[in-house]
Chains A and B, each alone.
Chain A
Amino acid sequence: MKTTKLKKQVVLKGGMILDPINETLKKGDVLIENGRMKSIGEVTPSKSADVIDCSGLIVTHGFCDIHVHFREPGREDKETLDSGSMAALAGGFTRVCVMPNTDPPLDSPESIRYTIDRGEECPIHIHPIGAITKSQDGKELTEMGAMLSEGAVAFSDDGLPVTDTGMMRNALEYATMFDVPIINHAEDLCLKKDGVMHEGKISTQLGLPASPGITESNMVHRDLELTELTGARLHVPHVSSAKSADYIRQMKKSNNKITAEVTPHHLFFTDEDLITYNTDLKVAPPIRTQADQKALIKGVKDGTFDCIATDHAPHTIEEKEGTFDLAPFGMIGLESCFGAVNRVLVKENKLNIIRLIQMLSVNPRKIMGFETDLFTNGNPAELTIFDPNKKWTFKKSDIYSRSHNSPYIGEALIGRIRATIVKGHITALV
């Protein structure tokens, strides 16, 4: 992977331009001048222009992941904003939202400011999500107003569910003043107990403590009802169970303030893949059955889910190489995202590629209130270039994260990122 500064004039020549807003996919060139979009169509490059051959490739909006963990500050041994940025670039992501479960957590205007300032130094756009409650302990609301002024884009106690229904109501009520999304990691901890995977045939065979699908869907249902009550915006992260998808689908019919995301790993794997106790597949909420997987794919196709988010969660090899009960929850996912979801959704389940790109670019930007019209002339170039048909095997050497906890290593993926353009630079993957 190599990052270079964009020349004064850059022409992306002969690719297919995928416009996720106007829903078109047609051959054309892109002219970038001084790092900004200049024109799209047929471009005759000037002599000094840097011409990049994009034949056979798709050029589209830079991907946006609204759910990543970059561990800074506090666990820089797992990831930093810099190393996380490299993982993002490798996955075609130009913009991410980082979750606040750092050490200390992002629960104050000062910590939001720190992340914004550090993000400025990084090669991608980084937006902090603030904590809902101080220390993420579910007891006292954070200073949401001041945190928004410093650059927070949403609020979540991610990793830790807001278990107290009264507190969740307060958070939603309070957030209505600012019209920002509240994101709640939905797992009923009383039902989850020490569960480390989905409760089913496989957990019984493995002798592991497990939790059923309603551990999630009960709390999703509660949050949806609270959204009805308060009129707040709710974004449901990493939906894992069929029943949660049903509740969201139902409630979205009458409430346009609800959005939801699904992760690549809940679409790609099932609990049967855990049969070897692979700790890289230990995530929260857990990977569930084939029936749940099918329901999630259906949810993508019928619009129940607005976006794909990776929940990129780096952990050290020492932590993940322990026994299954002791290993922390989470897997990295930025580098493997496109090849995984393109394989499952587009190649195996006939989703239109334009729909997939919408779920990776314009839809997540809408949820967070970011600029979506990236092809407009004069806007800073924020583009992803990929080969939609490339078959490849994901390897450890494809990882740019500081951590390597990926269950995709050795998996066959389809579709590969070739280059990512953002902040006046182009990062090319060889």
Chain B
Amino acid sequence: MRHPTPGASLHLTQHINSIVINAGDGTHEHPTQAILDMTSLQEKFGYLKGLKVGIIGDISHSRVALSNIHGLKTMGAEVTLCGPSTLIPPFAEDLGVSVNYNVDEVIEWADALNVLRIQRERMGGGLLPSVREYRNLFGITTERLSMHKKEIVIMHPGPMNRGVEIDSSVADSDQAIILDQVLNGVASRMAILYLLLGGKQEEGNS
């Protein structure tokens, strides 16, 4: 079930006996996205424990971020959040992650970056002044990456705003595993549907 309201899937489980798979509930969580992201990282690196992952962008309004944080922390990875301070929840550090507003420092530190979509409706209001300002401070551009000697793995949950939070030249480069994420998305969700809905699963909700 995908729903615009945080808590909607949990709410449904309290009223029906079926298994409910949360396919994203508002600004709360997106567990299957976290599973496919972690699958993709596991394939790429061969391990998650100790892996350093930076999550870049609008954390406050992202269900991908929260599920990634819970999943990665559970698997022993380290997580740093990076984005405009107006788009990082004030109590983010209580989730066991670091916060750093300097994207270059995060790139230096991280093994992989999960770049989140910046929605255009956030621009020009009280949260973000402009696309230009965002790109200058947080955009994952070829120029920015070329300033760092290391090669870093780039992820994005899609859909991408090419030219806003990420350049096409980065998204389509060899260091991006975005298409692996898409492929793993299909496989992960097939597996989740099979295990929870189709097989000899014991009773229970998820």
Contacts and interface: CB of A to CB of B under 8 A. Distances in A.
Q: Is chain B a partner of chain A in the same complex? A: yes
A207 B29 contact: yes
A204 B6 contact: no
A323 B8 CA distance: 6
Interface string B77-115: 000000000000111101100000000000000000000
Interface in B41-78: 63, 66
A324 B92 contact: no
A206 B6 contact: yes
A206 B7 CA distance: 7
Contacts of A326: 5
Interface stretch (A111-119, A195-203, A227-235, A406-414): A195-203
Given A204-B89, A207-B26, A207-B27, A324 B7 contact: yes
Nearest to A212: B90
Interface in A169-215: 199-201, 203-209, 212
A204 B91 contact: yes
Nearest to B7: A277
Contacts of A203: 89, 91
Contacts, number: 53
Contacts of B28: 206-208
B5 A204 contact: no
Given A207-B29, A277-B11, A325 B6 contact: yes
Contacts of B10: 276-277
A212 B89 CA distance: 12
B5 A323 contact: yes
* Interface size band for A: 10 to 19
A206 B25 CA distance: 10
Contacts of A201: 91, 94-95
Q: Which of A205, A212, A276 has the most CB of B within 10 A?
A: A205
B11 A323 contact: yes
B7 A323 contact: yes
Nearest to B65: A207
Given A323-B7, A325-B6, A207 B91 contact: no
Contacts of A205: 66, 95
Q: Which of B8, B91, B92 has the most CB of A within 10 A?
A: B91
Contact of A204 (B26, B63, B92): B92
B63 A207 contact: yes
Q: Which of B7, B27, B29 has the most CB of A within 10 A?
A: B7
A207 B67 CA distance: 11
Given A276-B10, A325-B5, A325-B6, A207 B90 contact: no
B57 to A, nearest CB: 15
A118 B66 CA distance: 52
Interface string A318-351: 0000011110000000000000000000000000
A410 to B, nearest CB: 14
Given A207-B28, A207-B29, A276-B10, A324 B5 contact: yes
B81 to A, nearest CB: 11
Contact of A277 (B6, B89, B90): B6
Contacts of B92: 204
- A-B pairs with the 10 shortest C-beta distances? A207-B28, A277-B7, A323-B5, A201-B94, A207-B6, A207-B27, A204-B89, A204-B91, A201-B91, A208-B6
Given A207-B26, A207-B63, A208-B27, 8 more contacts: A201-B94, A207-B66, A208-B6, A209-B27, A277-B6, A323-B7, A323-B11, A325-B26
